[in-house]
Chain A
Amino acid sequence: MSEAEAKIRTRGLSAWFGARPVLRDIDIDIDARGVTAIIGPSGCGKSTFIRCINRLHEMTRGARMSGKILVDGVEIQGPEVDPVALRRRIGMVFREPNPFPAMSIRDNVLAGLILNHGRPSRARGDEIVEAALRQAALWTDLRDRLGAPGTSLSSGQQQRLCIARTLALEPEIVLMDEPCSALDPVASAKIEDLLHELRERYTVVIVTHNMQQAARVSERAAFFLDGELIEYADTDTIFTAPLDKRTEDYITGKFG
Chain B
Amino acid sequence: MSLLERDGSKKIEISSLQYDGIQKCLTELTQKTRATALLLSDINGQLIAQNGDTRQINTSVLSALAASDFAATSEMAKIVGEKARFRLLFHEGETNNVYLSNVGENHFLVIVFATSVTLGVIRVYTKKAVETLLEIVNNSSDADNGKEILNTEFNLHLNDALDSIFKK
Genuine A/B complex: no
Residues of chain A having any CB pair with chain B under 8 Å: none
Residues of chain B having any CB pair with chain A under 8 Å: none
